[in-house]
A and B are shown apart, each in its own frame.
Chain A
Amino acid sequence: MIAPADRCEAVAIGGSMGALQVLIELTERAPAALSLPIFVCLHLHASDRGRTAAHLALGSGMRLVEASDKEAVVPGTIYFAPAEYHLLVERSRTLALSSDEKVNFSRPSIDVLFESAALAYGSGLVALLLSGANADGARGLATVRRCGGTALVQDPSSAPAPMMPQAALDLRAVDRVLSVAAMSTLLERLHHDRSVSAALRGLGTACGAPAPLGGPTP
């Protein structure tokens, strides 16, 4: 029996510069039958028009789609935030898009995805912050941790753009630092056993205590 607070119900992934390659690897290696929803926010050019998601879908074992507004979340699906829209997860476990102002100069913003998913899934959320050249996602990761979820970052030393995971580490918003290979292992293990603590056993480097409270990213 997995304790309720240790049971993974959803995964959220954010990244920017240098993260596409990691996402290709993760989506190609993710078990096709992984029965978790995965939400992805990658900073895209405004003219993307769904091309990045369509490209990733070709190589992904799991179903991978661009997120639609008000779509019910279905396990086993990777939802990709469209360019120029924030992706939020409602507490009712449906998706919402918004064209609100950019957050951290970004739309979609990783903070917006992580913060809403943290409120929707609480301790059931596992969030991964990948390579990137700005600080989007760090505060969101802090919210994930504060809501009882698991906050993970790509090892900055192996990230093409270390600033993004480093910003989360500086905010003390991280539970554990992982290599890309360890992230794939984590998804494989979660396929067999939803216990987050069991899936993380022996993977990466654990970090210190969480940061103090704060509001959402302005």
Chain B
Amino acid sequence: MAELSSRPPGVSMDASAVAQIELDLLLEAIFRRHGHDFRSYARASVERRVAAFVASKGYARISDLTADVLHDEARFAELTQTLSITVTEMFRDPYVFAALREAVFPVLRSWPRCRVWHAGCATGEEVYSLAILLHEAGLYDRSTIYATDFNDAALGVARRGIYDAGRMRDYAQSYREAGGAKTLGDYYLANYGSVAMSGALKQNLTFASHNLALDGVFGEMHLIVCRNVLIYFDRELQDRVFSLFADSLVRGGYLCLGSKEDLQFSSAASRFELVDREARIYRRVADR
């Protein structure tokens, strides 16, 4: 920043440096006007999404979008959707679900209650995946699953539990690889190209709005699942979230991250021990 401010007046700056200032100002405007903090998000992804949005809406430059973010609620809502999309699917990385079943479920069984927090659940496919496996392990009836996201539109999709039938063949394959005991078709009703997840799976699910960047502890959990959310955060925000997870877990509770996420370098690393490296499963240890 010092380098930029010391630039002599009248010396030209290249277009990409100017675009960086515009992006900073846009994110600042979003935060100060609407309270959503994308300043701590991994920059290249945000930049890509903003550039795509600017092009698709016909803006000449980011600054023009910034004006609308300040004064046009509808346009801001569209932008938030673009910036907060997380893509998910059922039984993504089947080996992770198999590892949860084999390494974590036996311990969950030893507790009288089982509280699960699915943080950043997006449109909910993984929530239903986990609910199915808990059901097959005989753990569902004593479980409460809290599924949270800060994107209310995605949360609405998750709550309805209605998905495109075209994906089900792939999902059924992943379900089998995850060690599913029945057939995936037992858990939904198919109708006109859509499937509706079974009401029985929804009984113990609670969907709620929660923003990992701003909101607080979600207490006394036995298992927290948060996959492919933290890769979008910078290190500082990641540290905040890891501490939040540590504070939200009972001693001996489990944390399952995305396959490319790691708490090895986090300031909260000492509060966890590694259970399964490839499946990114960690366990909360006593604070020293």
Contact = CB atoms under 8 A, between A and B. Distances in A.
Contact of B258 (A92, A99, A120): A99
B55 A89 contact: no
User: Could you tell me the dominant secondary structure of chain A's interface residues?
Assistant: loop
A69 B261 CA distance: 7
B44 A116 contact: yes
A212 B87 CA distance: 32
A218 B53 CA distance: 9
B160 interface: no
A68 B45 contact: no
A116 B45 CA distance: 9
Contacts of A101: 85, 87
Contacts of A38: none
B51 A99 contact: no
Contacts of B228: 99
Interface residues of B, number: 29
Contact of A91 (B43, B49, B95): B43
A96 B45 contact: yes
Contacts of A70: 42, 235, 265
A80 interface: no
Interface in A38-89: 49, 68-70, 82, 84-85, 88-89
Interface string B78-96: 0000000111000010010
A44 to B, nearest CB: 14
B42 A90 contact: yes
Contacts of B92: 84
Interface string B32-53: 0000000000111101110110
A203 interface: no
A89 to B, nearest CB: 7
B22 interface: no
Given A88-B48, A98-B42, A119 B258 contact: no
B46 to A, nearest CB: 10
Nearest to A101: B87
A122 interface: yes
B120 to A, nearest CB: 11
| Chain A interface size, under 10 / 10 to 19 / 20 to 34 / 35 or more | 20 to 34
B183 interface: no
A85 B121 CA distance: 18
A216 B51 contact: yes
Contacts of A99: 86-87, 228, 231, 258
Nearest to A115: B48
A122 B47 CA distance: 16
Interface string A111-154: 01001100110100000000000000000000000010000000
A97 interface: yes
Nearest to A216: B51
A215 B52 contact: yes
Interface string B18-30: 0010000000000
Contacts of B44: 88-91, 96, 116, 119-120
A96 B231 contact: yes
B188 interface: no
B44 to A, nearest CB: 4
A92 B47 CA distance: 13
B78 to A, nearest CB: 15
Nearest to B229: A99
B260 interface: yes
Nearest to B54: A215
Given A69-B261, A82-B260, A218-B56, A100 B45 contact: yes
B105 interface: no
Given A96-B42, A218-B55, A147 B16 contact: yes
Contacts of B235: 70
Given A70-B235, A98-B231, A99-B86, A218 B45 contact: no
B232 interface: yes
Contacts of B220: none
9 contacts: A85-B260, A91-B44, A96-B45, A99-B86, A99-B258, A147-B16, A216-B48, A216-B51, A216-B52
Interface of B: 16, 20, 42-45, 47-49, 51-52, 54-56, 85-87, 92, 95, 228, 231-232, 235, 258, 260-262, 265, 278
A-B pairs with lowest CB-CB distance, top 7: A215-B55, A88-B44, A99-B228, A216-B51, A116-B44, A98-B45, A96-B42
